[in-house]
Protein backbone atom coordinates (compact mmCIF):
# COMPACT_ATOMS: atom_id res chain seq x y z
CA UNK A 1 0.00 0.00 0.00
CA UNK A 2 1.50 3.28 -1.08
CA UNK A 3 1.88 6.01 1.49
CA UNK A 4 1.46 9.57 0.24
CA UNK A 5 3.61 12.20 1.91
CA UNK A 6 2.32 15.73 2.44
CA UNK A 7 3.63 18.19 -0.09
CA UNK A 8 5.80 21.01 1.19
CA UNK A 9 5.17 24.23 -0.71
CA UNK A 10 8.24 25.43 -2.53
CA UNK A 11 9.70 28.75 -1.47
CA UNK A 12 9.38 31.35 -4.22
CA UNK A 13 12.71 32.34 -5.68
CA UNK A 14 11.89 35.96 -5.05
CA UNK A 15 10.94 35.57 -1.38
CA UNK A 16 12.51 38.48 0.55
CA UNK A 17 15.04 37.81 3.27
CA UNK A 18 12.75 38.93 6.16
CA UNK A 19 10.17 36.40 5.00
CA UNK A 20 12.80 33.67 4.99
CA UNK A 21 13.91 34.63 8.49
CA UNK A 22 10.30 34.60 9.68
CA UNK A 23 10.06 30.89 8.83
CA UNK A 24 13.14 30.04 10.92
CA UNK A 25 13.35 29.43 14.66
CA UNK A 26 14.25 32.45 16.78
CA UNK A 27 18.03 31.92 17.23
CA UNK A 28 18.49 30.85 13.61
CA UNK A 29 16.51 33.85 12.38
CA UNK A 30 18.71 36.25 14.35
CA UNK A 31 21.88 34.57 13.08
CA UNK A 32 20.54 34.63 9.51
CA UNK A 33 19.71 38.34 9.62
CA UNK A 34 23.03 39.14 11.31
CA UNK A 35 24.88 37.30 8.55
CA UNK A 36 22.91 39.17 5.90
CA UNK A 37 23.76 42.50 7.55
CA UNK A 38 27.45 41.55 7.68
CA UNK A 39 27.44 40.56 4.00
CA UNK A 40 25.74 43.83 3.09
CA UNK A 41 28.34 45.84 5.02
CA UNK A 42 31.19 43.93 3.39
CA UNK A 43 29.73 44.49 -0.08
CA UNK A 44 29.23 48.20 0.62
CA UNK A 45 32.81 48.56 1.90
CA UNK A 46 34.20 46.72 -1.12
CA UNK A 47 32.23 48.94 -3.50
CA UNK A 48 33.41 52.06 -1.67
CA UNK A 49 37.06 51.01 -1.83
CA UNK A 50 36.77 49.95 -5.48
CA UNK A 51 35.33 53.37 -6.32
CA UNK A 52 38.21 54.98 -4.44
CA UNK A 53 40.65 52.97 -6.53
CA UNK A 54 38.96 54.17 -9.71
CA UNK A 55 38.98 57.84 -8.67
CA UNK A 56 42.54 58.01 -7.35
CA UNK A 57 44.25 58.38 -10.77
CA UNK A 58 42.03 61.37 -11.48
CA UNK A 59 43.09 62.97 -8.21
CA UNK A 60 46.75 62.37 -9.13
CA UNK A 61 46.19 63.93 -12.54
CA UNK A 62 44.56 66.98 -10.95
CA UNK A 63 47.45 67.33 -8.50
CA UNK A 64 50.07 67.10 -11.22
CA UNK A 65 48.26 69.53 -13.53
CA UNK A 66 47.80 72.08 -10.76
CA UNK A 67 51.46 71.77 -9.77
CA UNK A 68 52.63 72.43 -13.31
CA UNK A 69 50.26 75.37 -13.65
CA UNK A 70 51.50 76.95 -10.41
CA UNK A 71 55.16 76.29 -11.24
CA UNK A 72 55.16 77.77 -14.75
CA UNK A 73 52.99 80.81 -14.05
CA UNK A 74 55.57 82.29 -11.69
CA UNK A 75 59.31 82.96 -11.78
CA UNK A 76 61.43 79.84 -12.20
CA UNK A 77 63.68 79.10 -9.22
CA UNK A 78 65.57 76.06 -7.94
CA UNK A 79 63.05 75.76 -5.12
CA UNK A 80 60.27 75.36 -7.69
CA UNK A 81 62.18 72.54 -9.40
CA UNK A 82 62.68 70.81 -6.04
CA UNK A 83 58.99 71.17 -5.26
CA UNK A 84 57.98 69.72 -8.62
CA UNK A 85 60.33 66.81 -7.99
CA UNK A 86 58.66 66.02 -4.68
CA UNK A 87 55.23 66.31 -6.29
CA UNK A 88 56.38 63.84 -8.95
CA UNK A 89 57.55 61.44 -6.23
CA UNK A 90 54.20 61.61 -4.46
CA UNK A 91 52.33 60.97 -7.72
CA UNK A 92 54.67 58.08 -8.47
CA UNK A 93 53.94 56.51 -5.09
CA UNK A 94 50.21 56.78 -5.71
CA UNK A 95 50.65 55.18 -9.14
CA UNK A 96 52.53 52.24 -7.58
CA UNK A 97 49.77 51.71 -5.03
CA UNK A 98 47.09 51.84 -7.73
CA UNK A 99 48.98 49.36 -9.89
CA UNK A 100 49.24 46.87 -7.04
CA UNK A 101 45.56 47.17 -6.18
CA UNK A 102 44.48 46.80 -9.81
CA UNK A 103 45.84 43.26 -9.80
CA UNK A 104 42.82 42.29 -7.66
CA UNK A 105 40.38 45.22 -7.91
CA UNK A 106 37.58 43.44 -6.03
CA UNK A 107 39.64 41.71 -3.35
CA UNK A 108 38.49 43.30 -0.10
CA UNK A 109 41.74 42.67 1.75
CA UNK A 110 43.80 44.07 -1.13
CA UNK A 111 41.57 47.14 -1.27
CA UNK A 112 41.99 47.72 2.47
CA UNK A 113 45.76 47.67 2.02
CA UNK A 114 45.38 50.08 -0.87
CA UNK A 115 43.31 52.47 1.25
CA UNK A 116 46.01 52.51 3.95
CA UNK A 117 48.76 53.02 1.40
CA UNK A 118 46.95 55.76 -0.44
CA UNK A 119 46.28 57.54 2.84
CA UNK A 120 50.00 57.58 3.54
CA UNK A 121 50.74 58.72 -0.01
CA UNK A 122 48.26 61.58 0.19
CA UNK A 123 49.60 62.56 3.59
CA UNK A 124 53.02 63.01 2.00
CA UNK A 125 51.51 64.77 -1.03
CA UNK A 126 49.69 67.18 1.27
CA UNK A 127 52.88 68.08 3.10
CA UNK A 128 54.62 68.72 -0.22
CA UNK A 129 51.74 70.82 -1.52
CA UNK A 130 51.61 72.89 1.66
CA UNK A 131 55.35 73.50 1.41
CA UNK A 132 54.64 75.18 -1.91
CA UNK A 133 53.55 78.24 0.06
CA UNK A 134 57.26 78.87 0.68
CA UNK A 135 58.79 77.13 -2.34
CA UNK A 136 56.50 78.29 -5.15
CA UNK A 137 54.41 81.29 -4.16
CA UNK A 138 56.13 84.69 -4.15
CA UNK A 139 57.01 86.15 -0.79
CA UNK A 140 54.60 89.02 -1.37
CA UNK A 141 51.61 86.72 -1.88
CA UNK A 142 48.64 87.82 0.23
CA UNK A 143 46.43 85.69 2.39
CA UNK A 144 43.88 85.33 -0.45
CA UNK A 145 46.51 83.72 -2.69
CA UNK A 146 47.90 81.41 -0.04
CA UNK A 147 44.43 80.37 1.11
CA UNK A 148 43.30 79.65 -2.44
CA UNK A 149 46.53 77.73 -3.11
CA UNK A 150 46.12 75.36 -0.16
CA UNK A 151 42.37 75.15 0.35
CA UNK A 152 41.59 75.10 -3.36
CA UNK A 153 43.73 72.03 -4.03
CA UNK A 154 42.45 70.28 -0.91
CA UNK A 155 38.86 70.90 -2.03
CA UNK A 156 39.60 69.49 -5.50
CA UNK A 157 41.16 66.32 -4.07
CA UNK A 158 38.27 65.83 -1.64
CA UNK A 159 35.68 66.37 -4.38
CA UNK A 160 37.33 63.82 -6.67
CA UNK A 161 37.96 61.10 -4.09
CA UNK A 162 34.69 61.47 -2.17
CA UNK A 163 36.19 59.51 0.72
CA UNK A 164 36.33 61.40 3.99
CA UNK A 165 39.18 59.60 5.74
CA UNK A 166 41.46 59.57 2.70
CA UNK A 167 40.58 63.15 1.75
CA UNK A 168 41.36 64.30 5.28
CA UNK A 169 44.91 62.97 4.95
CA UNK A 170 45.71 65.43 2.17
CA UNK A 171 43.63 68.24 3.66
CA UNK A 172 45.09 68.15 7.17
CA UNK A 173 48.72 67.77 6.10
CA UNK A 174 48.47 70.47 3.40
CA UNK A 175 46.68 72.87 5.75
CA UNK A 176 49.12 72.34 8.62
CA UNK A 177 52.23 72.67 6.44
CA UNK A 178 50.82 75.62 4.49
CA UNK A 179 49.90 77.51 7.66
CA UNK A 180 53.34 76.82 9.14
CA UNK A 181 55.13 78.02 6.00
CA UNK A 182 52.99 81.15 5.80
CA UNK A 183 53.84 82.01 9.38
CA UNK A 184 57.56 81.26 9.11
CA UNK A 185 58.12 82.90 5.74
CA UNK A 186 56.68 86.34 6.43
CA UNK A 187 55.39 86.10 10.01
CA UNK A 188 52.02 86.59 8.32
CA UNK A 189 49.36 85.67 10.85
CA UNK A 190 46.58 86.66 8.43
CA UNK A 191 47.77 84.17 5.81
CA UNK A 192 48.09 81.43 8.42
CA UNK A 193 44.59 82.17 9.74
CA UNK A 194 43.18 82.22 6.21
CA UNK A 195 44.66 78.80 5.43
CA UNK A 196 43.36 77.32 8.68
CA UNK A 197 39.90 78.78 8.14
CA UNK A 198 39.84 77.47 4.58
CA UNK A 199 40.68 73.99 5.83
CA UNK A 200 37.99 74.20 8.51
CA UNK A 201 35.38 75.20 5.93
CA UNK A 202 36.30 72.22 3.75
CA UNK A 203 36.09 69.85 6.72
CA UNK A 204 32.66 71.19 7.68
CA UNK A 205 31.45 70.91 4.09
CA UNK A 206 32.65 67.31 3.78
CA UNK A 207 30.97 66.30 7.03
CA UNK A 208 27.73 68.04 6.04
CA UNK A 209 27.65 66.37 2.63
CA UNK A 210 28.33 62.98 4.20
CA UNK A 211 25.50 63.54 6.67
CA UNK A 212 23.08 64.55 3.94
CA UNK A 213 24.09 61.53 1.85
CA UNK A 214 23.55 59.13 4.77
CA UNK A 215 20.11 60.62 5.48
CA UNK A 216 19.15 60.32 1.82
CA UNK A 217 20.27 56.69 1.78
CA UNK A 218 18.27 55.93 4.93
CA UNK A 219 15.14 57.55 3.49
CA UNK A 220 15.59 55.59 0.26
CA UNK A 221 15.83 52.29 2.14
CA UNK A 222 12.74 53.00 4.19
CA UNK A 223 10.84 54.15 1.14
Cα separation, 212 vs 26, whole angstroms: 36
For residue 92, what pLDDT is reported?
A: 95
Please state, in angstroms and rounded to a whole number, the distance separating the CA atoms of residues 27 and 218.
27
Question: What are the CA-CA distances from residue 36 to residues 53, 173, 195 (Å)?
Answer: 26, 39, 45
Residue 37 covered by a domain = no
> What would the mean pLDDT of 84-111 be, rounded to a whole number?
90
| 149 located within any domain | yes
Rounded distance, CA 120 to CA 134, Å?
23
Query: What is the spatial distance between Cα 206 and Cα 200, in angstroms, rounded to a whole number?
Result: 10
Tell me how far apart the alpha carbons of residues 26 and 161 are, in angstroms, rounded to a whole number. 43
Can you say whether residue 187 is alpha, beta or left, with left for phi > 0 and alpha for psi between -120 and 50 degrees?
A: left
pLDDT at res. 23 = 53
Q: What is the pLDDT of residue 206?
A: 87
Per DSSP, the three-state class of 92 is helix
Q: Are 70 and 136 in contact (CB under 8 A)?
A: yes
Per residue in 42-97, pLDDT tens?
A: 666 677 788 898 999 999 999 999 999 998 887 888 999 999 999 999 999 999 99
Whether pLDDT at 194 is above 60: yes
Pick 9 or 76 by higher pLDDT.
Answer: 76
Range of the domain at 111: 53-222
Q: What is the pLDDT of residues 162-193, one digit of tens each?
A: 888 899 999 999 999 999 998 887 766 888 88
- pLDDT averaged over the chain? 81
**Within a domain: residue 60?**
yes
Under 8 Å between Cβ of 160 and 58: yes
- Structure-model confidence comparison of residues 197 and 142, the more confident one: 197
Is the model's pLDDT at 140 over the cut of 90? no
pLDDT at residue 185 in the model: 78
- 38: in domain: no
Give the sign of the dihedral formed by CA 177, CA 180, CA 184, CA 187: positive
In a domain, 25, yes or no: no
User: Rounded to an integer, what distance in angstroms lies between the CA atom of residue 94 and that of residue 17?
Assistant: 41
Q: How far, in Å, CA of 120 to CA of 209, rounded?
A: 24
More confident residue, 211 or 116: 116
Upper half-sphere CA count for residue 102 (Cβ side, 13 Å): 11
The answer to whether position 188 is within a domain reads yes
Split into its structural domains, the chain has a count of: 1
pTM check: above 0.85: no
Q: Whole-angstrom Cα distance, residue 170 to residue 121?
A: 9
Specify if 71 maps to a domain.
yes
Going by pLDDT thresholds of 50, 70 and 90, the confidence category of residue 222 is: low
Residue 9: predicted pLDDT: 43
158 or 49: which leads in pLDDT: 158
pLDDT band for position 38 (50/70/90)?
low
Q: Within 13 Å and on the Cβ side, how many CA atoms surround 53? A: 26
6 confidence band (pLDDT: 50, 70, 90)? very low
Amino acid sequence: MAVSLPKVPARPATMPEPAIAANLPGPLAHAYLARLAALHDEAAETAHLANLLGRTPWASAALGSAALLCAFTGPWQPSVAAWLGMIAISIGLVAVFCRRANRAPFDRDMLKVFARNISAGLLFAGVVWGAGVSLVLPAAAGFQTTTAFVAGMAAVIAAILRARDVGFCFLISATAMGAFCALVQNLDGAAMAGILMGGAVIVATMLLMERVSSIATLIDRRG
